Chains A and B, each alone.
Chain A
Amino acid sequence: MTTVDNINVGVGLSTEKDIGRAVKEVMQQARATINKESIDLALVFSSTEYANPLTTKIISNLVGSAPVIGCSGAAIISNKGIFRNALGLMLLSLPKSVFLNTANIQNIHTKTALTSGEELGEKLLHGFKGLRRDFGLFFTDGLIEEESNLILGLQEKLGTSFPIIGASASDNLEFVKTYTYFNQDVTNDSACGIIWGGKLQFGWGIKHGWKPLGKPRLITKSKANVVYEIDGLPAAKVYEDYFSRDIAGLRKELKRISIFYPIGIYLKDEEEYLLRNIHMVENSGALIFQGNVPEGSQIRLMIGTKESCLAATKQACDQTKNWLGGKNSSFAIIFDSISRYMLLGRQAIKEIEIINKEFNNIPILGLYTYGEQAPLKATNYQGRAHMHNQTITILGIEG
């Protein structure tokens, strides 16, 4: 049982194949570690086998009027480890001094990502009038285009400096269909979020550990997440040179190249480069990235090692703890990039060991993502949230 001040947390995780039995198991585990009858929020992270309305329907029925929110992931993280095929549930019982409001949007493809973000922001604000807003927690379909614009849309409504922490849902590395969960709905082409406010403290840490390699280059032509030219040449040429492969060869190994060798956008005063994974290589030589790459950006090719990756995990823990001024979190939510899982391989579990150690085994629940959202740290970015790739993002909440 975890009771720090007034937030009560219970976490459950099941690898049971049958959805009904899995939900029963996670609910029993979570209920066993929470000492409150009333539930205010149910966070659900699961691998895609559980991305079924039956899962959310049963959970919704079992938590009464509490909102159910979450998304799918390539693997689920808990204090016990990493589980490729699992259902994870975090139940929260909050003190009266803490407020939250949840909302979702669907069918993003029918609008622009920007307007979808605005719509979601508006829905969230609607239930939060006159109350102090502290931060937002978001989940988006990990395969929607122009995800960065969705965040921009949100910021239009919530404020550019409003802290946003989020995850892009993932599937089992097939990049076919990812899901968000909102109450009884399990949908793709959607996003959902929570605004938190009241008497609670939160802190976050975000690090990737990738290092620049090769000479700096300039984005000479781009629009949103499509980069047409680097140093005045077709963007793919850089990768062709580095990997000694033609476009067809790059496409063949795109998953590996994208994950292990992203590009890093130089950000003045930031400790690390902002990473971008390649999503697609066009025949024209244009590269489509998961997040926006502004024209005029100075970029480098990035390389990661297991050691630098694990060191970044420790740094992300330290950042979170620093935000909380040395106070230990009541619980933590982890968004870990699938790229790290692939790079670390069998050592991926070490990240969880580091988190458990650094946070004294507080309840954690997390997932592997196709992208993470968090504010930049340097003051000249005014706390504006950006979409990141390859990071481990830790959200610690105390209250």
Chain B
Amino acid sequence: MLTLIISILFIVSVCVLLIMLTTRNDKIKDLQKNVGNLKQSLDEMDEQAKLIIRTDIELNKAQEELDKKINGLYALQRLSRAVSTTLEESQIFKMIDSSNIGELGFEKTVSFLWSERDRRFILAFNIGYSQDEEELIQASIDLNKDFYLNLIHQKKTVSSNTMPDDPIKDKIKNIFKVMTFVVSPILPKEGRVGFIFLGTENPDMAPSEGDEELVTILANQIGQALENAKLFENTWKAQQELEKKVEERTQELKQALNEVRIVSKRKSDFISAVSHELRTPLTSIKGYASILLAGKLGELPEEVKLRLSKVNKHSDELVNLVNDLLDISRIESGRVTMHLTPQDLPSILTEIADLFSIQSKEKGFDLSFKIEDTAHSVIADAGQLKRVFINLIGNASKFVPQGEGKISIAGYKVGKFIQLDITDNGCGIPEEAREKIFEEFYRVENAINDQVKGTGLGLALVKHIIEAHGGRIWVTSKLGVGSTFSFTLPEER
């Protein structure tokens, strides 16, 4: 019985164990299935990671390229600004520094400019090469100058990317010790042409099309700067030349002016001396003539009296001439002091009109004046001012037509001056004579002048007097219609 119970219990236990084992196996299978799923998920995740990484690396490359371009553009902007503000050829290349070249993606650069005289390229600047390397590069460029001249001729930028695999490309790489490079011609319209070379030892930095464009822009900027420098140099030289000529001419003029002053002084001194020497005998002549005419030495025959009157008259004329000469000489040399005081123009002109009253009746001319209210008072030496009017009116009276003459005087304010116009209806003055009439001893050649005597000093004296007052004198005229002599004097304030 016991054995049966034990057997039943054993069978039940075995059954329970079998059931438990089956359940556990199911769980293990489930777990294994889950692990498998997890592993599959991980593998799938890993595959996704691979896709992410491959995409990411491409994105990073694109980003790097973009950053490189932006940095390159900034560097180019900095270089362009530095280069374009330089007007000295020797300084232009000094503006290019290794940090900016680095930003462009290169670490070595050289530039050569063509020398027409030497028929070879001459090194303009170098970054990244020793002196020995420089010499090797120079020798290589001398040997292959046609290649570089051709680039200049074709205005073409080349790079290690775009050049065909020919010996010159390898030669450039070897001589310049770079893996990749760009060469671009420098083409100023004025001045020396050349080329710029930029290279890197880094084989990963293969220049893209964009790099070539950047280098071309840089080369153009250098070309432009060289052109500006050349133009500036030319302008500078021309300016220096001009300044030199101006200086020479100024010296010549100064010398001439000094000579003129010396001559003028000698002339004044001479006139002054001569006038004084003439005046003494003239006074004697005039005195004796007056004594004889007065009959103090006995009555003289009429014919003698007539001759003596002529002597007297000519002596007066000579005295006037000498006096005018003396006055001009004094004014020129500054020996005459102008007593400048306020003068009332209407009063002076009334006085002058009275002076000419007999003459105007005899010749039949009308003398009138109109001075505006604001132009009554001027600063002048009264005696000298009267002399100016007498001279100008006297001159006009000689040339106005007999019986129909008109002389008018107008006065008005112009700025800080009073302008006086003395207008006549005389024969007029030819254009070519209008400046010269103010020169000493100049007389216009015309019929009236041939008949009317004059010294040719009146207008010169008037000009000197007006200028001594700080004014100026000029004439406008129309032949057959008349002339207007205008002069200015400072107004009274």
User: Which positions in A face B, CB cutoff 8 Å?
Assistant: 15, 17, 84-85, 213-215, 241-244, 252-253, 255-257, 260-261, 301, 303, 342-343, 345-346
CB within 8 A of B67: which of A214, A255, A301, A346?
A346
Whether B98 and A242, one on each chain, are in contact in the complex, defined by CB atoms closer than 8 angstroms, is no
Whether A242 and B49, one on each chain, are in contact in the complex, defined by CB atoms closer than 8 angstroms, is yes
Q: Which 9 A-B pairs have the closest CB atoms?
A: A214-B49, A345-B67, A215-B42, A215-B46, A213-B49, A214-B46, A85-B99, A242-B53, A242-B50
Contacts of B98 in A (CB 8 A): 17, 85
| Other 10 A-B pairs with CB < 8 A, given A241-B50, A343-B60 | A84-B102, A85-B102, A214-B49, A215-B46, A242-B49, A243-B54, A244-B54, A252-B204, A303-B56, A345-B64
Does B52 touch A at the CB level, under 8 Å? yes
A345 to B71, CA, bound (A): 10
CB within 8 A of A243: which of B42, B46, B53?
B53
Q: Most chain-A Cβ atoms within 10 A of its Cβ — which of B42, B43, B49, B98?
A: B49
A202 to B435, CA, bound (A): 97
Please give the number of chain B residues whose Cβ is less than 8 angstroms from any Cβ of chain A in the complex.
23
Describe B's contact surface by its main secondary structure.
helix
Does B402 touch A at the CB level, under 8 Å? no
Contacts of A301 in B (CB 8 A): 49, 53
What are 6 of the A-B contact pairs (CB < 8 Å)? A15-B99, A215-B42, A255-B204, A256-B61, A260-B57, A261-B53
CB distance from B385 to the nearest CB of A (A): 75
- Annotate B38-70 by CB proximity to A: 1 below 8 A, 0 otherwise: 000011011001101110110011011001001
CB within 8 A of A260: which of B50, B56, B71?
B56
A156 to B57, CA, bound (A): 41
Contacts of A343 in B (CB 8 A): 60
Contacts of B63 in A (CB 8 A): 345
Whether A213 and B99, one on each chain, are in contact in the complex, defined by CB atoms closer than 8 angstroms, is no
A255 to B204, CA, bound (A): 10
A241 to B56, CA, bound (A): 15
CB distance from B152 to the nearest CB of A (A): 31
Contacts of B45 in A (CB 8 A): 214-215
Does B233 touch A at the CB level, under 8 Å? no
Whether B61 and A346, one on each chain, are in contact in the complex, defined by CB atoms closer than 8 angstroms, is no
Whether A303 and B52, one on each chain, are in contact in the complex, defined by CB atoms closer than 8 angstroms, is yes
Does B142 touch A at the CB level, under 8 Å? no
Nearest B-chain residue to A300, judged by Cβ? B49
Nearest B-chain residue to A257, judged by Cβ? B57
CB within 8 A of B53: which of A17, A213, A255, A342?
A213
A301 to B354, CA, bound (A): 125
Contacts of A256 in B (CB 8 A): 57, 60-61
A261 to B54, CA, bound (A): 11
Nearest A-chain residue to B43, judged by Cβ? A215
Whether B67 and A243, one on each chain, are in contact in the complex, defined by CB atoms closer than 8 angstroms, is no
Whether A214 and B60, one on each chain, are in contact in the complex, defined by CB atoms closer than 8 angstroms, is no
Contacts of B135 in A (CB 8 A): none
A255 to B50, CA, bound (A): 19
Does B97 touch A at the CB level, under 8 Å? yes
Contacts of B56 in A (CB 8 A): 260, 303
Nearest A-chain residue to B49, judged by Cβ? A214
Contacts known (A84-B99, A256-B60); A303 close to B53, Cβ less than 8 A: yes
Contacts known (A17-B97, A256-B61, A345-B67); A213 close to B52, Cβ less than 8 A: yes
Contacts of B57 in A (CB 8 A): 243, 253, 256-257, 260-261
Nearest A-chain residue to B56, judged by Cβ? A303
Contacts of B50 in A (CB 8 A): 214, 241-242, 244
Contacts of B61 in A (CB 8 A): 256
Contacts of B67 in A (CB 8 A): 345-346
Contacts of A257 in B (CB 8 A): 57
Nearest A-chain residue to B61, judged by Cβ? A256
Contacts of B42 in A (CB 8 A): 215
Contacts of A253 in B (CB 8 A): 57
Contacts of A17 in B (CB 8 A): 97-98
A15 to B61, CA, bound (A): 29
A241 to B46, CA, bound (A): 10
Contacts of A84 in B (CB 8 A): 99, 102
A214 to B61, CA, bound (A): 21
Contacts of B46 in A (CB 8 A): 214-215
A257 to B49, CA, bound (A): 15
